[in-house]
């Protein structure tokens, strides 16, 4: 079992910055990828950013150039640096970790979510 602890959410004015953090712990053999998803009121959950074990990152078009995902593999921690925040970034942000067991099975784990609110 894997547990994820998220932090860093809050209230910020448009144009401001926030840094989200997610630390994974538990029985982890290998991590395929870590990422951030978000869900705004009345909308479906969407991918924000994702980074693989090899360091390859991809982003939603709406956040490219503003958000940066990074990973500290030694501590199984993933970060999301969010700059130039916009009101449309307001959402609950969820951390995701995709693991692979020693037998080759793939599992997905989710954090509890952290609220990000951007005021205009």
pLDDT value, residue 74: 74
- Rounded mean pLDDT of the chain? 95
pLDDT of residue 80: 98
Q: Which residues contact residue 76 at a Cβ distance below 8 angstroms, ignoring those fewer than 6 apart?
A: 23, 24, 25, 28, 31, 97
What does the pLDDT look like over 8-39, one tens digit per residue?
999 999 999 999 999 999 988 899 999 999 99
DSSP 40: -
Q: Is the pLDDT of residue 120 over 80?
A: yes
């Amino acid at each position: 079992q894997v547990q994820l602890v998220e932090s860093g959410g809050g209230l910020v004015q448009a144009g401001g910055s926030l840094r989200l953090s997610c630390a994974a712990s538990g029985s982890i053999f290998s991590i395929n990828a870590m990422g951030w998803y978000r869900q705004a009121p009345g909308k479906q959950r969407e991918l924000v950013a994702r980074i693989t074990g090899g360091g390859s990152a991809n982003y939603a078009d709406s956040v490219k150039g503003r958000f940066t995902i990074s990973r500290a593999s030694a501590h199984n921690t993933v970060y999301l640096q969010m700059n130039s925040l916009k009101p449309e970034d307001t959402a609950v942000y969820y951390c995701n970790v995709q693991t692979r067991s020693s037998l080759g099975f793939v599992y997905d784990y989710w954090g509890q979510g952290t609220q990000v609110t951007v005021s205009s």
